[in-house]
Structure formats: structure tokens, C-alpha cells
Structure 1
Amino acid sequence: MRNAAIVFIMLLMIVPLIPGASAYLYRLETSDEITVLRGDYDSGRIWLINAGGLTYKTVRYQYFWVEDSSGNKIDGFTFNIFPLVFSDWAPERGYSFLYTITCPSNISNGTYTLVMRFLASTSSGDIYILLARIPLHVISEPLTFGVAEAYVQNRPGSSYVLNGETIVVFSHVTNIGHRNVSAVGQVSLTRDGKTYFFENRSLTFVPGDNLVRFEVPVGYDLPAGTYRLHYFITYDGDTYRYSKDFPVKFGVTLVGVSLKSDEVKVNEDNRAYVTVLSEMSIDMNLTVEAYRDGELVSKTVRQVQIGDGTQVLEAPLPTNVAGTVTAVIKLTYGQLLIGEGNVTYTVSAPPVLTNVSYEETAEEGVLLFRLVVENPSGSSVDGLLRYKLSTDDGVLYKDSIGVSIPPGTSEIAVEFEVPTGETVYYEFALIAAGETSTAMGELYLAPPEPPATNTTSTSTSATSSSTPSNTTTIGGSSAGFLGWLVVIAFVVLAAGAFYYLTRPEESRKKRVRPKPKRRSPLGRFKRPKMPKFRENRELPKK
């Protein structure tokens, strides 16, 4: 081995003296490249492949030079490799070298060629010159930018972003120099010239790979639409730019609104069904505004919890007012309207007997009943008025009549002839729109007073009224009047007895009086007159 080394050293001394034609020239191949910053240095590893088809017993690195694109040599570079000598380099086999290169600051940036020269010998003693040509890139800026990427956090494959989510934008920046480099990073989210988010950050890039990452929150206050993300890195007057469009939507959609019933009665339950499709869980506000004839009659706001998926929300609707009601249903988050719909339904309210009053007329024993009816609906309603008047001895009147009740407050007037000196019970029932409203009470009409005597008696007869389920009674006569009645009756009985005892025998025969034909079970009472309807803007005075 020692002898071989001596021989190789002697060859190295002799080779420069050998004419160029006495050595064989071969190339070494490589796919590596070297990049160096102007005024800086670089180090790394290079792989060279023996493409000459020969096995070299000994190979030694001699020197290098740098050429420009025209083949001119460029001075000022330094280049060193390790190892310098190696042996037994077989065909198609690769060897790696550690290298260090220094670039002068006066070199223009561009692509050059680094040429490495090796001297090799075979086992047969042949001498070969091996050349390796390596691309050399000289750059003036230390930073190399990787391609930036932006995605939705937790949903990297999504093509849109939901309100409340976050957009992440990042990129890798390589500092090929050996000194820290300062820069400024910026990110913004804009739409139609308006900036909704902006962040500015100072950056320091150390030698090697650096990761830059920004997070852009998408607030719930952002309206739906397409926004553009802008990403900048600026240093020494140079700027790396990246942008990407992101459609933004809230993630909750009001699909539709349906109604439980198109027509209900007053205070009957009715509700709307709101179908919601959501891609997230969130608390929102459900607002119900009810209008009748364009006037707001009710407004409710309540918080509802929206879950991921499809769900149906129930919204109670007001039914305390009669008429056609339009309910506007809104789904909101804060001041942001997510969706709205409306439903229209009819609230029907039957006419109601609100008051019953009566008063004496000019005709003795005849009372005028006034029935106050409230029709809250917006149109006339046909109904049936049933009435019943009775005393302790039996029914005086019992019948029904058809009535047409106008909207608002109206009055039904009907007259009845009733006996005096007895308690009269009355009952009225109004049947309309499937409902029955009843009013009942009792009254007492004093009999007429006898002719005036020394003893003054008084009787009361007043106008009275009753409301549903109330009873009103008018009564009585004085004790003096009753005493006079007893005296008169005694005198009449005495006169009758005297006549009976003093009349002739023939006249004492018992006479059979034929029964009179009874014209009506009501006696002398008249049938009630047909009711008269009067519309009053005010209730009658009691």
C-alpha cells in the first residue's frame, strides 16, 4: 500500500508535465445544484456518479473554477470539498462530497457553472481527467418563499367558511443566508372595497426554514357573500403576495314556515312550525310579530338553541284578537337577520251577549228588553236568539228567532207582556258561530196602585238590567195597602151572604156555568213583538 501511494504521488508530479493528449478526459454526472447568497457562503453535500464505464483505482480532487454562461472564468469564489482522495470508484457508482463555497459580494446574481477537476488512475496505470459540471446559482436576496395555502380551520376541505369559524393562511420561508432577516407580514379580509379584518405583524427569519401562520376569524356580524383573503410578506422593498376567495355563509338556513291551523277561535291554541337547517350548534333569537290590518298587535322574542342538522321549531301565535292576523317570523343572531317567513290565519270570535236591561213601556205590564251584543269579528254573523220567560206557575214565553248581528256593538230590543205582582224569570241565549252566550235573571213588576185614600202607599217600579249569570229583582207594596184589601174582601163576602139568604127559593137552584173557551195557555198575554236591532256606539244606561 505504501508503494502504491508513492507511485500515485509521483504520478501527480509527472501529470502536469504530460501533454494533454497523453490523458483521457471523462465527465462525472450529477443532478445536484448549488445556491449561494451574494456576499455570503453556503455548505452542503454533492453526489457525483462515475459515468465513464471504468473502475478507477484512485481518484483525487485537483481544483475548480467558475464559468459564466459564455464560458468565461469568474474569479473571487472559494470552494473546498471533503474528502479529497478516494479509491475503487466503480462504474455507475456515486460518491458524495461535503462542500463549502464562498461568493464575493460584487458578483451579479444569476446562474453560473462550477467545474470540478479530478485526476484518476486505473489498475492498469492509465491516467484520466474527470470533470464535474455543477449549476451554481448566485442570488441577491436571502429569502425563498414557498407557496402559501389557506383553509378553514377544522374543515380543511371546505370550499366555504361559516360565520364563527376561522381561516388559516400559512407559508414556508427559507432563509438561505447565515444572518437573521427582518420582514413584515400582513393579512386582511375584504369585500367590495371594505376591510373586515386586518393584522400586521413583524417577522424575523432565522437561517433555514421558517413557518409563517396567520388566523383570520370570521365574525358572526359578517353578512353572507364572497370575501377575498390577502396575504403579504414584505422585506427590503420586495413583497410576496397571495390571495384567495372564500364564500361566507352563516350555516343556518330557515327552510320554511308552516301553520298548525288556518282558522282558530279566540284564545284557541295555534302555532307556526319553523324548519331550520344548520351546520353548527348555536343559540339564536326567534321573533314573532303579529299584525292585524297593518297594525302590530303582538311581538315576542325568545332564544332558541339550534343544533347541527335539520330541526323544527314551534312558535306560539297570538289568538287573543279576532280577525285576519299575519305573523312575521324572523330568525336572527344579534342584529343579523338569518331568515324570515310569514303565515296568515283567521281568529274567529263569536258574538257575545254583554248586557241585558229592561224598562217599562207606556203600555201597562209590557216590558222592553234591551240585549247588548258584541260582535268582535269584521263581518256580520247570523245567529239564533232563544228566549224563555216564566213564573213559578209555569212558562210564559219560550221560542227562538233568527238574527243577523252586525260587526261591533249592537242592540236587540224585544217586548214582552208580563204579569204584575209575580216574580218573572227570564233567560236569553245567543247561538252564533258555534258558541252560545247566555244571560239570565229575574224581575218583579208591582201591581198597579189602588185609588188614592187617606193612607198613602208607595210601590217601586224601576228599570233594571242584568248581565250574564246576574239576577235583578224589583219589588214590593206597602203593609197599609194589604190591610185595605182585607177590609174590602170582608165587606164583599158579607154582602154576598146576605143576598143568598134573602133571595127566593127558585133562585137558589144550583146553576151550572159553562166553562169558557180558553184562547191561549198564556191567558191574556200577548206574543212578543219581533226584535228591533239598534246599533249603539255606547252601552245603554242602566
Structure 2
Amino acid sequence: MRKAVMISILLLLLVSVLPRALAQFGQLETSDEITVLRGDYSSGTVWLVNGGGFTYKVVSYQRFWVEDSEGNKISGFEFNISPHVFTDWSPKGRYSFSYNVSCPSNVSGGTYTLYMRFLAFTPDGSMYILFARIPLHVISEPLEFGAAEAYVQDRPGSSYALNGETIVVFSHVVNVGHRNVLAVGSVSLVMNGKTYFSEEKNLTLVPGDNLVKFEIPVGYDFPEGVYRVDYRIGYPGGVYTYSKEFPVRFGVKLVGLSLKSDEVAINGDNVAYMTLLSERVIDLNLTVEAYRDGELVSRTVRQVRVLGGTTVLEAPLPTNVSGEITALLRLSFDGRIVGEGNVTYRVSAPPVLENVSYERTADNEVTFRLTLSNPAGNEVQGLLAYRISTDGGVLYKDSIEQSIPPGTSEVTVQFEVPVGKTVYYEFSLMAAGETSSISGEFYLQPPAPPTTTTSPTPTTSSPSSTTPVNTTTTPGGGSRGTWIGLVVIVFLLLAAGAWYYTSRGQQKRKRVRPKPKRRSPLGRFKRPKKPEFKENKELPKKK
């Protein structure tokens, strides 16, 4: 080291003594560049190449200066290198040196040229003045912004985001200076002029590389559409902005809605099929509201799980009421409607036998009133069966076809039934594949026997045949002979009247066709026989 210093001193003395005309000029080449921030410093390494055809025994650095693009010298720079002396520098040989350059703060940013002058000697003692030209870039601001990027977290290759996911936007910022730089970063998510998310934070950018990152949550309440991500970093020396569009969708779509059956019997099974295309696994609420004639008749809510891909959901439909039913099916998540549709189906209710009442219309006649209900909107054919019986057996049993109009109707039937006995009845209606029955029993009280009062009446007797009758009398207030005489007279008068009426009727009576027996409209009824009582004409003889 000491030897190199001595050589440098001797070369300087020699150059100051020798005339300039004796020196020759050469060139040192470099492909390196120097970058420095104004008001700051920079350090690094530069490689120089001996571009001449001579070998230099000693090459010594003398001085530098800086010129702009127009050749004007710019003052205020400081430039130091190490080492200063290079020896045995052959043609095309390479040497490097370390540098430290300081730039004044009043220099405008741009590209300048830093000139270096060297004094070189060949082995034969020839002297050369060598120059090196190094591009010098002066940076006016300390921050260099890398390109920002935005992606969907957990799905970085996706061109769209789903509700509930997170969009990440980031960039690298290089602080080329040697002091911290304060900046402000912000991000926002905007659609149709409305901001759905925004965030701002203060940044301290240290020398070197800095990663600036924001996360944008896409809420489940965000409507579907195309959003724009706006990203910004600002500081006193400038601002960097970045924007990117992101379509947002929920990720579950209702693509089909169908019915198991367009018509079903009341209390039968009916199901709506909902076909979904899903890009996620998520739990949704399924609401089924059923309406008849605009009136809500049923509402159910249950949670369903939707898997990725194609999912078919089965939604049970109410069938407990008859008529035309419109069901509204709705899929929702936290109050947000994901998909909805409606289906219409008919619930057919068969006619039913609602009530049976009866009324005694005569001593041995009962009228039944059958109440039929047909909830369908059209007339239905049915079969009405009946069975009337007592403990002794079946009185009537048959079935008839019956047209049942819509709504409520009444059928009336009459039967002659025995009195004084328990009568059992059973009516059944078979229609639309369903059977409804009502049964019961009743008892007809026999009518009370009439009370007969006999008063003595004076009559005129006529001759007639008489039959002796034993009569028991009760003693009264007159003589016994008088009472016996009165009884005999009355009896003779009655016998004479009966004989006269019988003989006259035989003369005038014409042959008349007997009236038909009265029959029940729903079957035959055999009138019970009247009880017979044997009457003895004479008193029993004494043995």
C-alpha cells in the first residue's frame, strides 16, 4: 500500500513537470451505471475494461467531473473510489473499484455523465491519459413502485370473487434512499358509483424493498355485479394508483324447478325439485309458502346444505288442504335471496259423508238426511251404500249411484222400521277412491194405546142373531135387575147393527183391485205381523 502511494505521488509530480503535448490519450470502457438519489448518496462497484492495445504498468486515478446532456459541468457532486492505482493492466483486462457518490439536493432528476481521468504508464515509459465515461442517473424521488396485483384469496387464478371471499391487492415499493419515507395507502371497492368497502392506512417505507398489502372482504350482502378495485399509495413526492375489475357473484344458482305431480290426493305426497349449480359448500334457508286463492295456508322454513357442483333439493309441499295451490319456494342466506320460483298444483279431496241425521215422520217411518261434501270444483260420481238392521237381522241393505255436486248437498231417504226395537244404521259413501262411513242406532217408542170410555145410550133394537157373552159387571147405584136389562138391550142393539151393516155391504160391494203395498224407496220392507191374541168364547167348564 505504501509503495502504491509513493508511485502515485511520483506520477503526479511527473505529470506536473512534463508538458501536455508529450502525453497520449486512451479509453477505459464500462457497461455499468451509477444511480443516486438527489440529496442522498449511493455506493457500489464499477468494472472498467482496458479498451486500448497497450499494457499499462501503472494506472492511477486522478479526478472526476459531471456533465449534463449538453456538456455543462454540474458542481456539488462528491465521488470517491478505492483503490486509486491499478498495475499491470493488460489489453481487454478488467479491473473494478468501489465508489461512493453524493448528489446535491438542488440537482434535477435525469441522466448525467460522470467522467473519470486516469494517468497510465507503459513498461517502456510512455505516458497515457485515460478517460472513463459512466452514466449517472439522478433520481428526484426516493420511491420506486412495482406493479400492483390483485387476486382472490385461496383461489388466486380466479377471475371473479364469490360473496364471503377476500380480494387481496398488493405491490412492492422500493425506497432507494437511506431514510424512511412516510406515505398513505388506501383501497376501495366500488360499483356503479357506490363504495362498498374502503380502507386507508399510514405507511412507513424503510430503505429497500417494502411490501404494501390490503385485504378486501366481499360481504354476503354485496349484490352481484362487476366491481372495481382502486388501489393508491401517495406521498409528498408522488402517487401510485392501480385499478382492476372483479365480477362478484354468490356462487349458487337456481337453474331448474319441477314438480313430482301436478295433481295429488289430499294428504298425499308431493315434492318440488330444485336444481342448483354451486361453486361452494354452504348452508341455505329453504322457505316454502303455500297459497290458495291468495290466502296463506302453510309456511315452512328449514336449513339445507348445498354442495359443490350440481345439487337437487327436495322440498315437501303441503297437501292438507284441497284446491289449486301455488307454492313459492325461496332459497336465502342471512336474509339475501339466492334463488326463488313458484309451482302450482291441485290437491283433489274426495267427497265425504259429513253427517247423518234422522227424524221420525210416522209411527214406524224414519227419514234420514245425509249431508255430503264435495270440495272439488266439479261433479263427482259416487256410490252410496246403506244397511238398516235390528238384533233380529238385516232390514234393508243396498247401494245406489249418486251424483255429488260441488260444495255441500243433502240426500233424503225414508225407511219403515219396527217400533219398540233398537234399529242400527250404517251409511257409506265411496267416491274418488276413498270411503267415508257413519253409523249409529235409534229406538222408536211404541205409541201409547188409546183410552176407551163407554156411556149408556138408549137405542132401538132390531131383531138379529145374538151370541151369548159372559160379561163381568161392577155393582152400581141402581138395582141389579135394571143394570142387567140395560146391558142386554145394548148388546142386542149392537148385534142388530152389525148384522145390518154386514148384509148391506155384501149386496153393494164391488170387486176393487187392492192397493199396492207401500214400499221403501231404497228397498223392501216386510211389515211385522200384528200380535194375535186368542179369546175364549165360553167360560172354562168345571171338571
How far did 1:2 drift? 10
1:410 paired with 2:404, answer no
How far did 1:393 drift? 4.2
CA distance in 2: counterparts of 1:342 and 1:447, whole angstroms:
64
Q: Residues 33-55 of structure 1: CA distance to partner in whole angstroms, max 9, x if unpaired?
A: 22222222122222334444555
**Contact 1:417 1:528 (8 Å CA) reproduced:** no
Query: Which residue of structure 2 aligns with residue 425 of structure 1?
Result: 424
Amino acid at match of 1:28: E
Structure 1, unaligned runs of 5 or more = 455-518, 530-542
Matches within 5 A, 1:261-272: 261-272=261-272
1:286 paired with 2:295, answer no
CA distance in 2: counterparts of 1:287 and 1:184, whole angstroms:
47
Amino acid at match of 1:438: S
Query: Which residue of structure 2 aligns with residue 29 of structure 1?
Result: 30
Query: Which residue of structure 1 aligns with residue 537 of structure 2?
Result: none
Amino acid at match of 1:406: P
Query: Which residue of structure 2 aligns with residue 401 of structure 1?
Result: 400
- Change beyond 3 A, Cα 1:524–1:23: same
How far did 1:5 drift? 9.1
Matches within 5 A, 1:352-363: 352-361=352-361, 363=362
How far did 1:160 drift? 0.5
- Change beyond 3 A, Cα 1:20–1:338: farther
How far did 1:133 drift? 1.9
**Contact 1:79 1:101 (8 Å CA) reproduced:** yes
CA distance in 1: counterparts of 2:266 and 2:22, whole angstroms:
118
CA distance in 1: counterparts of 2:83 and 2:137, whole angstroms:
23
How far did 1:423 drift? 3.1
How far did 1:217 drift? 0.8
Q: Residues 334-378 of structure 1: CA distance to partner in whole angstroms, max 9, x if unpaired?
A: 1211111222222111111121011122x5533211111222233
Amino acid at match of 1:162: L
Query: Which residue of structure 2 aligns with residue 170 of structure 1?
Result: 170
CA distance in 2: counterparts of 1:320 and 1:93, whole angstroms:
101
Amino acid at match of 1:425: Y
Matches within 5 A, 1:199-210: 199-210=199-210
Amino acid at match of 1:439: I
- Change beyond 3 A, Cα 1:307–1:96: farther
Moved more, 310-319 or 189-198: 310-319
- Change beyond 3 A, Cα 1:448–1:144: same
Query: Which residue of structure 2 aligns with residue 473 of structure 1?
Result: none
**Contact 1:143 1:173 (8 Å CA) reproduced:** yes
- Change beyond 3 A, Cα 1:178–1:292: same
**Contact 2:322 2:349 (8 Å CA) reproduced:** yes
SS where residue 378 of structure 2 aligns? coil
CA distance in 2: counterparts of 1:4 and 1:176, whole angstroms:
35
Amino acid at match of 1:371: L
- Change beyond 3 A, Cα 1:378–1:168: same
CA distance in 1: counterparts of 2:50 and 2:294, whole angstroms:
94
Query: Which residue of structure 1 aligns with residue 62 of structure 2?
Result: 62
1:526 paired with 2:525, answer no
SS where residue 14 of structure 1 aligns? helix
**Contact 1:26 1:128 (8 Å CA) reproduced:** no
Amino acid at match of 1:375: N
Query: Which residue of structure 2 aligns with residue 508 of structure 1?
Result: none
Matches within 5 A, 1:89-168: 89-168=89-168
CA distance in 1: counterparts of 2:188 and 2:3, whole angstroms:
73
Matches within 5 A, 1:460-471: none
**Contact 2:28 2:48 (8 Å CA) reproduced:** no
CA distance in 2: counterparts of 1:339 and 1:229, whole angstroms:
27
TM-score (structure 2 length as normaliser): 0.78
- Change beyond 3 A, Cα 1:22–1:255: same
How far did 1:227 drift? 0.8
**Contact 1:162 1:249 (8 Å CA) reproduced:** yes
Amino acid at match of 1:42: S
Query: Which residue of structure 1 aligns with residue 466 of structure 2?
Result: none
Q: Residues 191-226 of structure 1: CA distance to partner in whole angstroms, max 9, x if unpaired?
A: 111111111111111222211111111111101111
CA distance in 2: counterparts of 1:65 and 1:393, whole angstroms:
142
How far did 1:98 drift? 1.6
How far did 1:8 drift? 7.5
Structure 2, unaligned runs of 5 or more = 454-514, 524-543
Amino acid at match of 1:401: I
Query: Which residue of structure 1 aligns with residue 249 of structure 2?
Result: 249
Amino acid at match of 1:437: S
Matches within 5 A, 1:216-227: 216-227=216-227
**Contact 1:256 1:341 (8 Å CA) reproduced:** no
- Change beyond 3 A, Cα 1:408–1:250: same
Amino acid at match of 2:409: S
SS where residue 209 of structure 2 aligns? strand
CA distance in 2: counterparts of 1:2 and 1:325, whole angstroms:
109
* Structure having the higher Rg: 2
SS where residue 419 of structure 1 aligns? coil
Amino acid at match of 2:259: L
CA distance in 1: counterparts of 2:22 and 2:363, whole angstroms:
161
CA distance in 2: counterparts of 1:177 and 1:44, whole angstroms:
14
1:301 paired with 2:295, answer no
SS where residue 14 of structure 2 aligns? helix
Percent identity (aligned) = 65
Moved more, 345-354 or 85-94: 85-94
Q: Residues 314-339 of structure 1: CA distance to partner in whole angstroms, max 9, x if unpaired?
A: 22211111112121111111121111
Query: Which residue of structure 2 aligns with residue 75 of structure 1?
Result: 75
CA distance in 2: counterparts of 1:387 and 1:53, whole angstroms:
135
Query: Which residue of structure 1 aligns with residue 389 of structure 2?
Result: 390
SS where residue 106 of structure 2 aligns? coil
**Contact 1:418 1:525 (8 Å CA) reproduced:** no
Query: Which residue of structure 1 aligns with residue 379 of structure 2?
Result: 380
- Change beyond 3 A, Cα 1:448–1:187: same
**Contact 2:63 2:116 (8 Å CA) reproduced:** yes
- Change beyond 3 A, Cα 1:53–1:310: farther
**Contact 1:29 1:51 (8 Å CA) reproduced:** no
CA distance in 1: counterparts of 2:94 and 2:369, whole angstroms:
121
Amino acid at match of 2:24: A
SS where residue 196 of structure 2 aligns? strand
CA distance in 2: counterparts of 1:381 and 1:97, whole angstroms:
111
CA distance in 1: counterparts of 2:116 and 2:156, whole angstroms:
48
**Contact 1:257 1:341 (8 Å CA) reproduced:** yes
- Change beyond 3 A, Cα 1:113–1:199: same
**Contact 2:363 2:419 (8 Å CA) reproduced:** no
How far did 1:108 drift? 2.1
How far did 1:183 drift? 1.3
Matches within 5 A, 1:293-332: 293-332=293-332
Amino acid at match of 1:268: G
Query: Which residue of structure 2 aligns with residue 43 of structure 1?
Result: 43
